[in-house]
Amino acid sequence: MTNPKYFPNQPQTVGQLLQFCSEALESSDVFFGHGTDNAWDEAVLMVLSVVELPLDSGENVLPQPVGIEAVARLRELLHRRITEHEPLPYLLGRAWFAGLEFFCDRRAIIPRSPIAELILNDFRPWYNGPAPKRILDLCCGGGCIGLAAAYQFPDARVDLLDVDSGALELARENAEHLGLQDRVTVIQSDLFESLVDARYDLVLSNPPYVDAADLAAMPAEFHHEPKDALGSGSDGLDLTRRILSCVHPFLAASGLLIVEVGNSGPALEEAYPKVPFTWVEFERGGDGVFALTAQELQDYSAIVG
């Protein structure tokens, strides 16, 4: 049963729902970080999704009346969000990444990588090769990075690769949802093991990278996500080390590797002090993403291998 205290008076309009939801979220101990970073933005996402209004709606929708069913649905979502700390994208069953809508559930982590900004900027100025024809989304989860890249580069073929069959089912559903299934191949593999003679212009990866200490201390919201998709050993670099040691044969001569390692960035630099990681700076927030060219990987193969 939902808790009626979240709606002490029956809301009549979209604006009233927004006010009630934002105040309830603000006064709770929920953690924001799965698509929004504050109570108001989360309330907007929750309310507009439930009343089926465009997410870019303006103030003109605030007086719009809402029905009893919408209010009841908001009661349920708000209660679960506050008492169970379930992230909103899981409650809604969808998430947004690089301007695209994706199905979202517990088969994969919630899309939130700053790599979205790189995709929308065609990976410039870090990628200097020809228009990419083959792209690999390594450790793809629900497929958001690779599918956004496929949408951005309509002439490219994209492989979505992950070891987890459930995540790949979700990635396949998202490919079909976006109408990209004809240019996308879903591959189950432990990193590169199932790839044969593949060369990619871009290898993109948001692998598990949370170290053991951070994983134990993460807010409750993160414990709704697959643990294996977050943690990667004591320093968070188990998967990243394997990627660095194996990726070069799968990159085209002008290819680029882009990997997100989040807070494990300092540990990576400590582990490979002689490797010239290029750390991407983002206008829209986010950090912990590095780029290495195929040439750099070849030059430092004795270190990373």
Please give the mean pLDDT across all residues of the chain: 93
Cβ atoms of 186 and 142 within 8 Å: the answer is no
Average pLDDT over residues 155-178: 98
Banded pLDDT at 12 (limits 50, 70, 90): confident
Q: How many whole angstroms separate alpha carbon 116 and alpha carbon 148?
A: 8
The pair of three-digit structure tokens given for residue 146, joined into one six-digit string: 């690779």
Residue with the bigger pLDDT between 51 and 10: it is: 51
**Per residue in 195-216, pLDDT tens?**
988 999 999 999 998 989 988 8
Does position 102 have pLDDT exceeding 80, yes or no? yes
Does position 178 have pLDDT exceeding 50, yes or no? yes
**Per residue in 119-159, pLDDT tens?**
999 999 999 999 999 999 999 999 999 999 999 999 999 99
Residue pointed to by tokens 């998430």: 95
Dump strand ranges (E) for the chain: 94-97, 100-103, 134-138, 157-162, 184-188, 200-205, 251-260, 278-279, 289-293
Q: What is the pLDDT of residue 8?
A: 53
